[in-house]
Amino acid sequence: MSDGERNPLDMEKLVSLCKRRGYIFPGSDLYGGLNGTWDYGPLGVELKRNIKDAWWRAVVRERDDVVGLDAAILMNPQVWVASGHVSGFTDPMVDCKACQGRFRADHIEDNRCPGCGAVGQFTEVRRFNLMFKTFVGPVESEAAQVYLRPETAQGIFVNFPNVLAATRKRVPFGIAQIGKAFRNEINPRNFTYRSREFEQMELEFFCKPGSDEEWHRRWLDERFNWYLKLGLRKDRLRLRQHAKEELAHYAKDTYDIEYLFPWGWGELEGIANRADFDLKQHQQFAGKSLEYFDDDGKERYIPYVIEPSGGVDRTALAFLVDAYAEDAAPDAKGKEEPRVVLRLHPALAPVKVAVLPLSRNEKLRPQAREVFDLLRRAGISSEYDDAQSIGRRYRRQDEIGTPLCVTIDFQTVEEDKQVTIRDRDSMQQVRVPIAELVAALREKLV
């Protein structure tokens, strides 16, 4: 994962901000937590929604060659036999005889236990299947056993003939899906980066064999640029091709889009050329033809698949890490004070605009509420805040990543019906008439 480079951010600061401000809480916090699970608070759920909306727009809505799907999490268990997950979705695992801790064998360095430091105290390597099991119906028998899906992809593959029959789509075309996936990771770690329950954004793009490498290149470009457009710093983003021995059992070629996290480079999204592996497997195990007939009926083939597969949680974490900054801002008396600011792209920021009356003075309230209603009616996600001093409210909005604050003061009410727009990043302030406010905000929020 890492080759020595590090993002300088102190993760403790971000984790603490996330909990304090309502981005991310430990799962089941009230009961002492459940390892590998996280709950997204009022701001976190908006951030995730904005990420998913941006992905859906770029991958589905703005194209005419991709359609969406929302398949069930529970699937016929044969699906996972066909996909190779029952036999092959395993991690190598060792137990430490000294502390009884369980670790991934490929994460051990110098034969030293990451838990207690004991050297050479490990059991033999065993394979551990990462799929969660449960039962359908009232009987907990092997026949009733099913899995929580470890990827959303298989729901797409098994629906390939349904979508083909139900739409007018012809190869090349893709099916996209966003949804939960579950993996019983041996060592969940690095905040939400490696969780046991997470969300994936996956596209399976079906194309004619022979055109697959060209489509692979196109999707690599598309997906890499998506992260850049949403503000991730270019020098913290890279494409890394898998070495032959690293390739998954289904992959002909894979690239990872990686971000430089505080613990080193880590995968945000894998973009694999899965060739015809999955459709062939399902054709064999389901006993139904999944061949595709070209329009003129002259050619029939099993389509190849290019799969951009990203994680919502990892992407959200990368955006948070990248956005976190500490600088200085003037307080009410003009003295420079340290501030924490999340420089989130406006499209991702949970709150776009904060409406702030200068004080709680009754003269300001009706006008401030009117401005707030105006923004809500215009569909601009806004927050009304009149608690504490204006300086502290700016700090709070900076810390949660709100790009713009609109301040209503006595001059607004008594003189000119103008408000002040304050920019989170430059901290510059401009006054605009309320009649022009929505247009001015829209211009700044792109």
Q: Is 41 in the site for ligand GAP (CB under 6 A)?
A: no
**Residues within window 142-161 making contact with ligand GAP, judged by CB under 6 A:** 151, 153
Instruction: Decide if 122 contacts 111 (C-beta within 8 A).
Output: yes
Query: Is residue 273 classed exposed, middle or buried when 0-12, 13-18 and 19+ CB atoms within 10 A define those classes?
Result: buried
Q: Is 266 left (phi over 0), alpha (psi -120 to 50) or beta?
A: beta
Question: 85, 149, 194, 352: which one contacts ligand GAP (CB under 6 A)?
Answer: 194
Residue (of 375, 365, 378) closest to 413 by Cα position: 365
Number of shown-chain residues binding ligand GAP (CB under 6 A): 19
195-234 footprint of ligand GAP as x/- string (CB under 6 A): x--x-x-x--------------------------------
CA nearest neighbour of 396 among 369, 361, 424, 368: 424
Reading the block at residue 16, the tokens are 């603490």
Minimum CB distance to ligand GAP smaller for 310 or for 346: 310
Give residues with Cβ within 8 angstroms of 334, minimum separation 6.
Answer: none
> Applying CB under 6 A, does 255 fall inside the site for ligand GAP?
no
Can you list the positions of beta strands (E) in 23-87?
24-26, 38-40, 66-68
Q: Considering the rule CB under 6 A, would residue 266 count as an interface residue with ligand GAP?
A: no
- CB–CB of 232/210 below 8 Å? no
Site map (CB under 6 A) of ligand GAP, residues 387-406, x = contact: --------------------
CB of 35 to ligand GAP, least distance (A): 12
Candidates 23-31, 90-98, 102-110, 264-272 — which segment interacts with ligand GAP by CB under 6 A?
264-272
Q: Decide: is 314 part of the binding site for ligand GAP (CB under 6 A).
A: yes
Write the single-letter amino acid at 278.
D
Q: What contacts 19, CB < 8 A, 6 or more positions away?
A: 25, 26
Least distance in angstroms from the C-beta of 86 to ligand GAP: 16
Among 14-22, 308-316, 364-372, 375-383, the segment contacting ligand GAP (CB under 6 A): 308-316
Summarize as ranges the residues that interact with ligand GAP (CB under 6 A): 151, 153, 183, 185, 194-195, 198, 200, 202, 267-270, 307, 309-311, 313-314
